[in-house]
Amino acid sequence: MLRFAEEIMLLLLENEGEKFLRVPDLALRYALAGGVLMDLAMEDRIDTDLERLILVDATPLGDDILDPVLGDIAKAGAKRDARYWVERAAERAYETREAAIERLIARGILERREDRFLWVLRSRRYPVADGTAEVEVKLRILEVLLEEVVPTPRDVAIICLADACGLFTELLPGPEYRQALPRIELVRGMDLIGREVVAAITDIWRVGRTLGSEPRPR
């Protein structure tokens, strides 16, 4: 199974993979940070409540996307909330992005060619590490939002994350975005995995708008 960071990068591919969609830098950083924390939660390494992000298991996963953030959490003496760790994980967003792209290339999903990224496989499915095939993330998300396909827990998590970071306004044309809004709101109510992470990101953006500028990591 792909990590959320890998799927976020696939979600941002345009023109059959010729380039990545340009989105605000902070939106991408927080999306990748939130994805790392959600994966750690799904791996039972962390948990969250209204006040704290809790370390459940410090055992490394042997994963170059997740282990650096897990190590930071394990080394932290004080208990911090989800917002703090979203902002800390966002500081590693460049490394997370590059690691995710390199994995997609190693899996044979993308090919790097003179600063462009091309789909190696033209089908809407791609192989993952265990030899199974997974439906491409953009197709899955559009089916959930526009065709009311029942989402998986991972689909719910990535939709909530993309919405919190404002990615859908960049990904969907105006009419499709307006059509999808009620469905996005419905899916947001299903989120159990990353609710506090998504709430933290939403709060970061809300404060940034109130202050009249984009939020900056502390």
pLDDT digits (tens, 9 = 90+) for 108-136: 777 776 655 555 555 555 555 544 545 57
Q: What is the pTM of this model?
A: 0.84
Percentage of the chain surpassing pLDDT 90?
A: 37
Beta carbons of 9 and 169 less than 8 angstroms apart? no
Lowest mean pLDDT among 52-56, 98-102, 207-211: 207-211
Among 157, 4, 13, 130, CA closest to 66: 4
Whole-angstrom distance, CA of residue 6 vs CA of residue 35: 9
- Residue type present at position 55: L
CA distances from 163 to 28, 184, 198 (A): 12, 8, 9
**Three-class SS of residue 122?**
coil
What is residue 212's predicted lDDT score, i.e. its pLDDT? 47
Q: Which two tokens stand for residue 141?
A: 């998300």
Q: Which two tokens stand for residue 182?
A: 């009620």
Does pLDDT of 46 surpass 90?
yes
Q: Which two tokens stand for residue 19?
A: 């380039």
Beta carbons of 147 and 157 less than 8 angstroms apart? no
Can you tell me the mean pLDDT for 16-36? Answer: 83
- HSE at residue 62, side-chain half, CA atoms within 13 A, is 0
Reported as a single tens digit per residue, the pLDDT across 142-167 is 889 988 889 988 899 999 999 988 88
Whole-angstrom distance, CA of residue 156 vs CA of residue 148: 12
Average pLDDT of the residues of the chain:
82
Does pLDDT of 169 surpass 80?
yes
> pLDDT category, 40, cuts 50, 70, 90?
very high
Helices (H) and strands (E) in the chain, counts: 10, 8
Can you tell me the mean pLDDT for 202-214? Answer: 61
